[in-house]
Amino acid sequence: MSNTTAPAAAATIGYARVSTVSQSLDQQADALTAAGVPADKVFSDKLSGSAGTERPGLAQALAYAREGDTLIVTGVDRLGRSTAEVMATIADLLARGIVVRALREGVDSSTATGRAVFGIMASLAELELELGKERRAASRDARKARGQSVGRPAALTAAKSAQLVRMARAGEPVAALAETFGVSRATAYRLVKAADDAEAGAA
């Protein structure tokens, strides 16, 4: 009789995240279970605050996943609060032999095409970060040349602030919205948190 222990079967797990505590995880959870994730293997986070906010759900998913397992997300942006964070998480998963599937993008790292796409996405993410640095540097230089202040950007109007909050609640990454609206990440997160706090106080 053999004492050899059979290897554990590969698991399929899912991760869902929303950017504010007022958003619902139901839609993402439903999509994950429809894609084959057992309901008790869906890890999740509801986040509000700075980019450094702890993500216990993601931490649990990453700790649970083993080589050969598959991690499914509704979109690659669910894996981080910034492009760099997303790609670092994906790189870690792939290095550990964990398959990554993104439903919205239709990307699956178990295929050669999927791995190539993730590689291209990583390259584009690095390029975008570099271009962003160059744009900010050029903007600062232009303001200096005109004798303008190079301090923090002007605050958003009430209408723009409300638009940023609506987009964040719709699932757009707050870090990306900060870039889009031309404010610091701290300002963008502060606006979203203030809106959440106001709603909680009115409830």
> Which candidate in 19, 44, 48, 82 is catalytic?
19
Q: Is 13 helix (H, G, I), strand (E, B) or coil?
A: strand
> Could you read off the pLDDT tens digit of each residue along the chain, which spans 203 residues?
455 555 568 899 999 998 777 788 999 999 999 999 999 999 999 874 444 557 889 889 999 999 999 999 999 888 887 777 788 788 888 889 999 999 998 999 999 998 888 878 777 766 666 666 777 777 777 777 776 655 555 567 888 888 888 888 877 788 888 887 888 888 888 888 888 888 777 66
Q: What is the dihedral of CA 23, 25, 27, 31, to 10 degrees?
A: 150
Q: pTM (2 decimals)?
A: 0.58
| Both tokens assigned to 203 | 């409830």
Position 129 scores a pLDDT of 63
Is domain 12-118 annotated with CATH 3.30.980.20?
no
| Domain range list for the chain | 12-118, 152-197
Distance CA 69, CA 41 (A): 12
Type of residue found at 2: S
- Active site includes 149? no
In contact, 85 and 79? CB cutoff 8 Å: yes
Q: How far are the Cα atoms of 93, 114, 117, 135, 186 from residue 109, in angstroms, in the given order? A: 10, 4, 8, 32, 34
Position 128 scores a pLDDT of 66
First-last CA distance in the chain: 65
